[in-house]
Structure 1
Amino acid sequence: MATWAEFAAEQPELAAFVEGRFAADRHALIATLRKDGAPRISGVEPDFARGQLWAGMMLDSLKSRDLRRDPRFSLHCNTTVASMTTSGDAKISGTAEFWTDKEDYLKDLYDRTGWMPEGGELDLFRFDVSEVVSLTVEGDGMVVLSWREGRGVRRVTKK
């Protein structure tokens, strides 16, 4: 697995596009796996900070429990029909690491945003990435850029 910084160093343009899509609407969707293996879709606000991809969650939320049990995830930016045709789409997959040393992250979060969860109470995860995908519309086709660790980027145009 690659850290976000490692991926961004290898693919700076794709990383900038993906970060921009997630920043366009802070709310995103994360897919996790329930105890029985069924998928769970939940809202989350990913945070690209200090060369890493992070997400804070309510203490002991179902998605947090899912990730502590099985760290695999997929993250999808908030996409509407209009944003797909004008701004594109982005997806990230990989594994999540439950982060117990939250103090530095929370200080940085407050310095950047002026917001702090009440009492610093959250479950914090740092994400490593194994796949990053962008989709854009160019002319009458859709362009898919797909990066996988160890493989690099593939470009596919679909009409």
Structure 2
Amino acid sequence: MATWAEFAAEQPDMAAFVQGRFAADRHALIATLRKDGSPRISGVEPDFARGELWAGTMPDSLKSKDLRRDPRFALHCMTTTASMTEAGDAKISGTAEFWTDKTDYLKDLFERTGWDPGEFDLFRFDVTEVVQLTVEGDGMVVLSWHEGRGTRRVGKK
């Protein structure tokens, strides 16, 4: 598994694009797996901080329980237009780690935002796949990175 910093060091332009897409609307969608293996889609606010990808959840929420039981996830930025001509699209997949020592994260969060979220469950995400979709001319370009395989670019009309 790669940390966000490791991915960003390998693919700085792609990392900047993806972070920008998630920053454009802090709200994103995360897919987790229920006990029976079926998918669950929930809202989340990812945070790129200290070279890591983080997200908090309400304590013991279903999303938190899903990630603690099975750490696999898929994260999708908010897409603002169906055509994606303005900004593009971004997705991240990997595994989540339940983080019990929140002291440093909370200090950093407060210094950056002035916000104290109160009680929450914190997860740090490692990435195995990152996907960037953009529109170029009359086609779509999919740039995908997979850990250990590098990037692949596919054009679709």
TM-score above 0.5 = yes
The offset of 1:157, in angstroms, is 0.4
Output the TM-score relative to the length of structure 2: 0.98
Query: Any unmatched runs of 5+ in structure 1?
Result: none
Partner amino acid, structure 2, of 1:2? A
Per-residue deviation, 1:98: 0.1
Aligned residue identity for 1:44 = V
Instruction: Give the secondary structure class of the aligned counterpart of 1:125.
Output: strand
Q: What per-residue deviation string (whole Å, max 9, x for no partner) do you get for residues 42-83 of structure 1?
A: 000000000000001100000000000000000000002267
Instruction: Indicate the SS of the match to 2:85.
Output: helix
Q: CA RMSD in A?
A: 0.9
Aligned to 2:139: 141
Amino acid at match of 1:55: A
1:150 paired residue number: 148
2:32 alignment partner in structure 1:
32
Correspondence 1:125-136 to 2 at 5 A: 125-136=123-134
Q: Which residue identity is paired with 1:49?
A: A
Give the aligned length: 157
1:101 equivalent in structure 2: 101
Partners in 1 of 2:82 and 2:71 — Cα distance? Answer: 32
Distance 1:146 1:63, change over 3 A: same
Q: Distance in 2 between matches of 1:20 and 1:138?
A: 18
Q: Percent identity?
A: 85
Query: Hey, what does 2:110 align to over in structure 1?
Result: 110
The structure that is helix-richer by fraction is 1
CA–CA distance in structure 1, aligned partners of residues 90 and 20 of structure 2: 9
What's the CA shift for 1:41? 0.1
Name stretches of at least 5 consecutive residues in structure 2 with no aligned partner: none
> How far off is 1:22 after superposition?
0.1
Determine the C-alpha separation between the residues in 2 that align with 1:83 and 1:9.
30
Q: Give the Cα separation in 1 of the matches to 2:47 and 2:83.
A: 20
Paired residue secondary structure (1:35): coil
Q: Distance in 1 between matches of 2:140 and 2:126?
A: 27
Pairwise mapping of residues 1-159 of structure 1 onto structure 2 (< 5 A)? Answer: 1-81=1-81, 84-118=84-118, 121-159=119-157
